[in-house]
Amino acid sequence: MAWLLDLDMSRAFGDGTFPGLLLFLTIVLIIGTATDVRFHKIPNWLTFPTMTIGVVYHTAAKGWEGFLFSLEGIAVGIACFAVPYLMGGMGAGDAKLMGAVGGLLGPAGTFIAFLFTAIIGGIYALGLLAFHGI
């Protein structure tokens, strides 16, 4: 759990993997956002292959260490959204998509992404409340 306090971005995103995986992740997130906004669903055909690509990539690049890096990221991503999902605040697709983020970014990068997601989501919620006069 020491990675929670380690905000060194090179470690958070994995050694030498940042540019290519970030581009791939950006494409995945754009597709996930578009399908979520349009259909209120994030499809499994997007989340599970992305998790698999993350695990395969990191395993090929770093062996057992890369495999664990990716699996820990998946676990952190899903865990971050497990409580909101269980409380009915979001769908399972959101948790699986954050798990896919975890497969690519590893545990520390995923936790950082979760924090930014929570901040932006909070700002969005406040904006909706202000817009609707609540």
The number of beta carbons lying within 10 Å of the beta carbon of residue 60 is 10
Measured CA to CA, the distance from residue 2 to residue 112 in angstroms comes to 14
3-class SS of residue 14: coil
Q: Is the pTM of this model over 0.85?
A: no
* pLDDT, tens digit only, all 134 positions of the chain: 444 444 444 555 555 555 788 899 999 999 999 999 899 999 999 999 999 999 999 999 999 999 999 999 999 999 999 999 999 988 999 999 999 999 999 999 999 999 999 999 899 889 989 998 77
